[in-house]
Amino acid sequence: MQKEESRQGSSTVMEGMISFRAVIRGIESGVSDRRILCVLYDRSKERSIAGHLSYIRAMSYRYEFEVVPVDGADIDALATGTSHGGILAVCTERTLPDLSAAEIAVGGFYVMIEGIEDPYNFGYALRSLYAAGVDGVLLSPRNWMTAAGVVCRASAGASEQLPLYIAESIDALERFHRYGYRVLASDLEHSAPMWESDLTLPLLLIVGGERRGISRMLLDRCDGIVRIDYGREFGAALSAASAATVLAFEVLRQNRT
């Protein structure tokens, strides 16, 4: 029960080598200002993870953090999952810049996601958006990046390598309009099938959670509404992570050259 609650809480402990490497890439690319305070590793696995430790120690000289051997029980007590491989990186929080200070890419593809109910689905969404080539993701001031360790693991490190911005919905829509972007939302009412819609860039796509959806005020200001048609009768909505995945790859398909 305590482990389950910790998955929903604040965490800047990155678990496993995929997460560690993602943090390093985010720092090196300038996407993230997160810092690594120390790396803990299971001393009983020192021989089996020797290759990983060689890379970690090389990075420790460059970024000035400690590499500390500890008991496996200490690793398990700090981790929320079991796929850490005996390696944890204790990090600082990451600053998420306000959209007003961001440079919007020319001809880019951005996604705003709202209403995702847990950090795992949020991480799955970021993984798909990163793979689809999204230039940046817009988040509300209240978001799951407080559970950064869980999000990083669920996203296979994508959360640390994606540009993320804080933005209020209406302000973001108006700013992207000023940059010549079309703004499309995913919803059912007054919508067109995604494969019959023009999803060419530059584009801001808004995806809402399956419970709360997107506000009417925001929908009324969008340039269009798209939907994902199903292959059979199905009365439920896709999760926000699944919807973001399907739509993002349709955008990729329509813009391939």
Q: 80: domain CATH number? A: 3.30.1330
Give Cα separations from 189 to 19, 113, 170 (angstroms): 39, 18, 20
User: pLDDT tens digits, residue range 198-227?
Assistant: 999 999 999 987 666 788 889 999 999 999
Assigned token pair, 41: 């590793």
User: How would residue 115 be classed by pLDDT, with cut points 50, 70 and 90?
Assistant: confident
Residue with tokens 């950064």: 148
User: pLDDT tens digits, residue range 59-86?
Assistant: 999 999 999 999 999 999 999 888 899 9
User: How would residue 9 be classed by pLDDT, with cut points 50, 70 and 90?
Assistant: low
Q: What is the CA radius of gyration of the chain?
A: 20
* pLDDT at position 29: 97
Q: Among residues of the chain, what percentage have pLDDT more than 90?
A: 78
- For the four alpha carbons of 40, 45, 50 and 52, in that order, the dihedral sign comes to negative
pLDDT exceeds 60 at position 121: yes
* pLDDT at position 5: 46
> β-strand 36-42 against 66-70: which pairing, if any?
parallel
pTM of the predicted model, to two decimals?
Answer: 0.92
Give the H/E segment covering residue 227: strand 224-227
How many structural domains compose the chain?
2
pLDDT exceeds 60 at position 197: yes
Written as one string, the DSSP assignment of 105-154 is PTT-EEEEE----SHHHHHHHHHHHHHTT-SEEEE-SS-GGGBHHHHHHH
* pLDDT at position 150: 94
Query: What residues make up the domain containing 37?
Result: 2-91
Claim to verify: residue 200 and residue 111 sit in the same structural domain? yes
Claim to verify: residue 77 and residue 190 sit in the same structural domain? no
Classified as helix, coil or strand, 155 is: coil
Claim to verify: residue 28 and residue 74 sit in the same structural domain? yes
pLDDT exceeds 90 at position 125: yes
Q: Could you tell me which residue, 136 or 142, shows the higher pLDDT?
A: 136
What is the 8-class DSSP label of residue 70? E
What is the 8-class DSSP label of residue 87? E
pLDDT exceeds 80 at position 7: no
Claim to verify: residue 46 and residue 148 sit in the same structural domain? no
* pLDDT at position 211: 66
* 202 upstream amide cis, omega within 30 of 0: yes
Round to whole Å and give the CA distance between 189 and 202. 24
Claim to verify: residue 105 and residue 205 sit in the same structural domain? yes
